[in-house]
């Protein structure tokens, strides 16, 4: 049971570099989302998608891009990394009752 798979698990970037966090799910969920987790702030929604070809902004979208070309994949792109983007990133897919299924997280450090 793969569920939600995120790669990479760890990444170190220099300020200004770009990268893509990959997310794939095998549960045929239409809804997928990206959160960032910072100490004392819980999880904050970055972007989400309600189906292939449809994406929308969450609470903290600045500096991030997403696309959804297939039901399975929902990559998150950092366009020009900044130290403020140092965080743990979680991808999640959602079933109809609202229950989220999370990946194991990607820990990003921006120097």
Partner 1 sequence: AQSVTQLGSHVSVSEGALVLLRCNYSSSVPPYLFWYVQYPNQGLQLLLKYTSAATLVKGINGFEAEFKKSETSFHLTKPSAHMSDAAEYFCAVTPSGSARQLTFGSGTQLTVLP
Chain positions contacting partner 1, by CB under 8 A: 4, 31, 33, 35, 40-43, 45, 48, 50, 58, 90, 92, 94, 97-100, 102-105
Q: Which is nearer to partner 1, 28 or 98 (CB)?
A: 98
> In whole angstroms, how close is the CB of 37 to partner 1 at the nearest point?
8
Q: Kindly report the three-state secondary structure assignment for every residue of the chain.
A: CCCEEEECCEEEECCCCCEEEEEEECCCCCEEEEEEECCCCCEEEEEEEEECCEEEECCCCCCEEECCCCCCECCEEECCCCHHHCEEEEEEEECCCCCEEECCCEEEEEC
Q: Which is nearer to partner 1, 38 or 80 (CB)?
A: 38
Q: Which is nearer to partner 1, 85 or 93 (CB)?
A: 93
| Nearest Cα residue to 85 out of 64, 103, 55 | 64
Q: Which is nearer to partner 1, 68 or 94 (CB)?
A: 94
> In whole angstroms, how close is the CB of 4 to partner 1 at the nearest point?
8
> In whole angstroms, how close is the CB of 54 to partner 1 at the nearest point?
11
Specify which residues 45 forms β-bridges with. 35
> In whole angstroms, how close is the CB of 45 to partner 1 at the nearest point?
5
């Amino acid at each position: 049971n793969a569920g939600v798979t995120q790669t990479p698990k760890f990444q170190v970037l220099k300020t200004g570099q770009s990268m893509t966090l990959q997310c794939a799910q095998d549960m045929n969920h239409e809804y997928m989302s990206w959160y960032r987790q910072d100490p004392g702030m819980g999880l904050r929604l970055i972007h989400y998608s309600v189906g292939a070809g449809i994406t929308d902004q969450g609470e903290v979208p600045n500096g991030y891009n997403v696309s959804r070309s297939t039901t399975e994949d929902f990559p998150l792109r950092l366009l020009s990394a900044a130290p403020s983007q140092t965080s743990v990133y979680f991808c999640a897919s959602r079933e109809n009752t609202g229950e989220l299924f999370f990946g194991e997280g990607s820990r990003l450090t921006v120097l």
